Amino acid sequence: MGKISWLQRICNKEKPTILGLQETKCEQTQDNIIESFWGNSDFKFVQKDSVGASGGIITIWDCNIFSFDYAIEGEFFLAICGSWAGYDSKIALINVYGPHSPSKKIRLWSELSSLVNSLTFPFIIFGDFNEVRNTSERMNCEFNQHWANNFNNFISNSDLIDLPLGGKKFTRICIKRMKFSKLDRFLVSDEILKLWPNISSKTLDRDLSDHCPILLRNTFADSGPKPIRVFNTWLDLKDADSVITRAWSLPTTGNRPDCVFRNKLKNVKMELKKHSTQLDNIDSQIQDHLNAINEWEAIAESRPLSETEKNNWLNEKFSHLEKEKTKTNMLKQKSRIKWALEGDENSKYFHNYIKNAQVKTTYTAYPLTDPGSKTPTS
């Protein structure tokens, strides 16, 4: 009953038009149970029964907004197809509860690939995929690159867009062992962004579950693929040209030329980011050069310097100025990013910061959302 009350609080606050539940552990669900947390009787639902006390998927929808045509049940997913009020196009909503077994995961990616390739209208795949895409999506738990590659290949080959999640970084937590993972997400087709170009997603409070609910809604934020951004200072680093050339030649996946081009740009960004690790400790580098300059000045006050020693002193001064210039350029670019997000109210602060170069600051990007918008919601 505790989780039913929790679902009721979510439905009362967020007013979803579609609700997907995974791992229900129910063989049959009664209408009165769903009505108790949905809040009214204007709903329909389909269910994939659990096997004993394992698995189970339920998808519920507001029948005033979504007109149901048919359902497709897979081994690890449940899809509903129908029409959204106010839109001519049909739409498919695919609710996923991914398996733990690597062999079963491969079957799931294959089944989903076959399904989305057969669809001729927009679709959204959502739920618990039980897999991550890279090491940053796990903390304090095992990461398997091969399994992640299989998941990434499925996403890329199906031309899916992985919507960025606002809110918490991880969607699943094991409190006993303090393990964190991002297992839940929304994968959408290009056509979805044409229908709703301003959709965004975020995590909600975890409360009684070990997973965070994830919310998809229509807002004024651009939730398409993340822009490919690089710092200008990365391009000024030694051997940056060869890094770019090597990254551009790396193999990529994708069925469309624009997807291949996007993935090549991602490769370039990732390789430049790896190459830029020499800037991670730029403050200590600046201090090291400054300490060396002071040492040479102290020696020069006590005796004449040889030509070699003078050159070493000048090299330290040159390196110090170069590092200071690099740091200033980095801060300027970061300040422009923050100004774009927060507007004029932040300009004076950063201008003084660059001018004095005395204050250390961290930068946070805040998502732009419209809490009043309700469509679409999953």
Closest among 66, 64, 34, 63 to 47, alpha carbons compared: 34
- Helices 240-248 and 257-275 cross at an angle (nearest 10°) of 150
- Each residue's pLDDT, cut to its tens digit, for the chain (378 residues) gives 567 888 888 898 889 999 999 888 777 777 888 888 898 889 999 998 877 667 889 999 999 999 999 999 999 999 999 999 888 889 999 999 999 999 999 999 999 999 999 999 999 999 999 999 999 999 998 899 999 999 999 999 999 999 999 888 899 988 777 889 999 999 999 999 888 888 899 998 887 788 899 999 886 444 445 566 666 777 777 787 888 888 888 888 776 787 788 888 888 888 877 777 766 677 777 888 788 888 888 888 888 888 888 888 888 888 788 777 777 766 665 665 555 545 544 455 555 555 555 444 333 343 433 434 444 444
Closest among 66, 61, 64 to 83, alpha carbons compared: 66
* pLDDT value for 16: 92
Indicate where the chain has its CATH 3.60.10.10 domain(s).
65-218
* pLDDT value for 334: 61
Dist CA 136 CA 133 (whole Å): 8
Strand order in the sheet with 138-139: 138-139, 179-181, 172-174
User: Distances from the Cα of 8 to the Cαs of 4, 172, 373, in angstroms?
Assistant: 6, 21, 20
DSSP state of 300: H
Q: Backbone dihedral region of 274: left (phi > 0), alpha (psi from -120 to 50 degrees) or beta?
A: alpha
* pLDDT value for 371: 38
Q: Which residues 6+ apart lie within 8 Å of 65 measured at CB?
A: 17, 84, 85, 375
Question: Rounded to 10 degrees, what is the CA torsion of 261, 262, 267, 270?
Answer: 150
Quick one: CA dihedral 150, 151, 153, 157, positive or negative?
Answer: positive
Q: Count other Cβ atoms within 10 Å, centred on residue 206.
A: 17
Peptide linkage before 376 cis (omega within 30 of 0): yes
* pLDDT value for 19: 94
What CATH class has 65-218? Answer: alpha beta
* pLDDT value for 174: 84
Q: Backbone dihedral region of 346: left (phi > 0), alpha (psi from -120 to 50 degrees) or beta?
A: alpha
Six-digit token pair at 121?
């209208």
- Strands (E) in the chain, as ranges, are 18-22, 43-48, 57-62, 66-73, 77-84, 90-97, 123-128, 138-139, 161-162, 165-166, 172-174, 179-181, 184-188, 199-203, 214-218
Q: What is the pTM of this model?
A: 0.58
Six-digit token pair at 260?
């291949």
Q: Count other Cβ atoms within 10 Å, centred on residue 319.
A: 16
User: What three-state secondary structure class fits 181?
Assistant: strand
> Distance between terminal CA atoms of the chain?
22
